[in-house]
Structure 1
Amino acid sequence: MRHVRALMLGIALIALVVSCGGYVALGEIRAAAAAEGDPVEFIVAPGEATADIATRLSSEDLIRQPAIFTLLARLRGLDGKLQAGRYILSPTMTMSEIMIALQSSRVEEAQLTVPEGLRLEEIAAIVEKTGVVSADAFLRAARDGERFRDQYFLLNSLPQGASLEGYLFPDTYRVAKDASADQIVATMLDRFAEQYGTIERDVRVPDVTVHQIMTMASIVQREAALTSEMPTISAVFWNRLRPENAPDFGGGQLGADPTVQYALGYSAAESSWWRKTLTAADLQIDSPYNTRRYPGLPPGPIAAPGLDALRAAAQPDESAPYLFFVASCAKDGSHKFASTLQEFQIYEAEYLACQ
């Protein structure tokens, strides 16, 4: 009899624990993580496990108990069936509401792919094709660097009144169909800050600002056809800026044709922002971006550099003594590099002879 009573007491205790546990779990399912809070962008990757989704929801303070979320998904037959996509969730949503949202409330998105080496007008045209915002709206935002300066410390060296030319990182993005121009620009600046962070601790050029690195990177991006040559071409341009080399090359001029192309702007005849053939008159255009006429770096970037060009600008080939380069006869985008004018003239004659 005593054993029976002990057994019944044990069963009752187990039932009480289960009941309390169920009550707590039910409370978590019905309660929001917070009484108030800002909406959070949450992305579910294709094939992502429910437990991993729950863990990230918890780290974003959208739920309190990831284990209960995972269990609830299994009980509802949704384990492994939450839809990949981009969502806007709120900490004021209940766990059950979040689970429902992750099945059907994806934000409509458009894909935006920006190649390396484009100027703002070209990027704006790509943005407009997504149908999200117009090119004009995007350019108004992108040309107002002051609007974003306080949000991004890497813009501290951006000159007063400068645009964000060069700072909108080339990549593939997913943007909401209802995104504003400011939001698209901010997304691209976020990616820039992320990528620049990979090289900022190993800048080998002394006494330079982020803006100067970005300016050089944009020139390297437009000048180099081969990624492997970017550090050497970067070295050539930095070498040209050294005071001791001024007598040997243009008195401190960079002599970079892409900066002249940038200064000239759009060519209706070629339907391009980048003219393929520059005339003698083109090379004399009176613009601070004309590095064949004015010494030093131009006022700012001329295009959006990718990570390879950024790295090359920050980490030029320190063993390269060159001041000149000319396209090679291989016609594969490669160049021949020279330390003296005489050597350059030999390579130039070779190139002209093989045309």
Structure 2
Amino acid sequence: MSRKRRAAGLFLLMMSFLFGFYGIGMYWPEALPAKGVTVPIPLGTTNAQTIASLARSGVLPHPRLFHLAWALAGYPPMQAGLYEFRGRINQAQVLHRLIAGQSTPLSLLIVPGWRLQDIYQEIHDKAPYLDQQNLPQGAAAARYLARQGVGAQGSAEGWLFPDSYRYVPGTTALSVLRRAYVRMQRELHSLWAGRAPGLPLGDPYQALILASIVQKEGAPPAEQAHIAAVFLNRLRQGMPLQSDPTVIYALGERYTGSLTTSEMHVESPYNTYLHTGLPPTPIAMPGLGSLMAVLHPADSADLYFIAQGDEYHYSESYTQHLKQIQHYLQHAGGAGL
């Protein structure tokens, strides 16, 4: 056999070995622990850091082969995300998932009627992969958020639109809240532009404040437009709104679950039993339904309502209101305005 043929044969043997090693290393599935492996890849993580994290987690038994495969693919960007691996998986599948961004969805939920402190609690309890650095804390958080572009009129309260907001590990909580603020701005100004005529509201912010009160009244969606009409009629006549949720907001952590007679007289600009007009800021995050209810209220002259479970009864006069209280509430229990 000639020297050239021996060299060619040796070369083919080496190439076969290399391709075989590459194929086994990249495509042979590895068994993962029964509970699986979770690897967070935060925003801003370099590709080298990503590969190192995957290797430390045990997902990549051959990180250099993985890097070679990634290079042969043309160095496509690997996406940030929360990656969960279970069962048996090979390195080629890991690479495909990283490039395609096939990560576990993460989202921050904001529920209609939540206050800013409720959203903060949700971030603390259920969003461990959000970066909470630079997120204002304490009693002045609503004011400081507004200074950072999350809120207006000096407060973030009421300005975060209830929805589910997707994110990946390393996203700042501040940026997610800013998205919620931009969404509320868009929805509020769109609804304000198409509002019903003759509303006793001077600007979109007043609509936001009243919508937050309607939201916190806790009525079923079908009743919100009628309840909004009651409050709007009271504003027209200069009557106090007399909404319990505003007093509860004024009490803050002092509220124990039921309003006492003395608490109903707490001195605060949020106490709508003592002060006419609207409170200075929203008292919660209103949902789309309560915003629409305020800007497109029911056609009604009612000034009072009482609630008995999910049933609501309305009246135009105080005399009629007292009769309804006697008929519906004194015998069965309930709440009323």
Same fold (TM over 0.5): yes
Over 3 Å counting, the alpha-carbon distance change for 1:107 and 1:198 in structure 2 is farther
Which of 297, 321, 345 is equivalent to 2:301? 321
The residue number in structure 1 matching 2:122 is 126
The residue number in structure 2 matching 1:46 is none
Cα distance, 1:315 vs. partner?
Answer: 1.5
- Partners in 2 of 1:184 and 1:108 — Cα distance? 18
The residue number in structure 1 matching 2:286 is 305
Query: Counterpart of 1:112 in 2: which secondary structure?
Result: strand
Query: Counterpart of 1:187 in 2: which secondary structure?
Result: helix
1:165 matches 2:157? yes
Letter aligned with residue 344 of structure 1: H
Would you say the 8 A contact 1:217–1:310 is kept in 2? yes
The residue number in structure 2 matching 1:143 is 143
Cα distance, 1:287 vs. partner?
Answer: 0.4
Cα distance, 1:181 vs. partner?
Answer: 3.1
Q: Which runs of 5+ in 1 are unaligned?
A: 1-38, 40-75, 77-82, 88-98, 150-154, 247-251
Deviations, residues 82-119 of structure 1 (Å, cap 9, x unaligned): x99979xxxxxxxxxxx979734567763211211011
Deviations, residues 189-214 of structure 1 (Å, cap 9, x unaligned): 13223433541222222552111011
- Partners in 1 of 2:248 and 2:133 — Cα distance? 22
The residue number in structure 2 matching 1:256 is 243
- Partners in 2 of 1:282 and 1:338 — Cα distance? 26
Deviations, residues 39-75 of structure 1 (Å, cap 9, x unaligned): 9xxxxxxxxxxxxxxxxxxxxxxxxxxxxxxxxxxxx
- Partners in 1 of 2:81 and 2:195 — Cα distance? 36
The residue number in structure 2 matching 1:25 is none
Letter aligned with residue 320 of structure 1: S
Letter aligned with residue 312 of structure 2: H
Would you say the 8 A contact 1:141–1:182 is kept in 2? no
Would you say the 8 A contact 1:124–1:136 is kept in 2? no
Which of 203, 208, 212 is equivalent to 1:218? 212
* 1:166-315 correspondence to structure 2 within 5 Å: 166-204=158-196, 205-242=199-236, 245-246=237-238, 252-267=239-254, 270=256, 275=257, 277-315=258-296
- Partners in 2 of 1:334 and 1:184 — Cα distance? 37
Letter aligned with residue 211 of structure 2: A
What is the percent sequence identity of the aligned residues?
A: 29
The residue number in structure 2 matching 1:341 is 318
- Partners in 1 of 2:133 and 2:320 — Cα distance? 46
Would you say the 8 A contact 1:260–1:291 is kept in 2? yes
Would you say the 8 A contact 2:112–2:162 is kept in 1? yes
Would you say the 8 A contact 1:127–1:138 is kept in 2? no
Over 3 Å counting, the alpha-carbon distance change for 1:352 and 1:207 in structure 2 is closer
TM-score, length basis structure 2:
0.63
Query: Counterpart of 1:265 in 2: which secondary structure?
Result: helix
Query: Counterpart of 1:336 in 2: which secondary structure?
Result: strand
Q: How many residue pairs are counted as aligned between the two chains? A: 238
Cα distance, 1:325 vs. partner?
Answer: 0.5
Would you say the 8 A contact 1:234–1:316 is kept in 2? yes
* 1:79-94 correspondence to structure 2 within 5 Å: none
Q: Which runs of 5+ in 2 are unaligned?
A: 1-42, 44-72, 83-94
- Partners in 1 of 2:277 and 2:325 — Cα distance? 24
The residue number in structure 2 matching 1:352 is 330
Letter aligned with residue 124 of structure 2: E
- Partners in 2 of 1:186 and 1:301 — Cα distance? 17
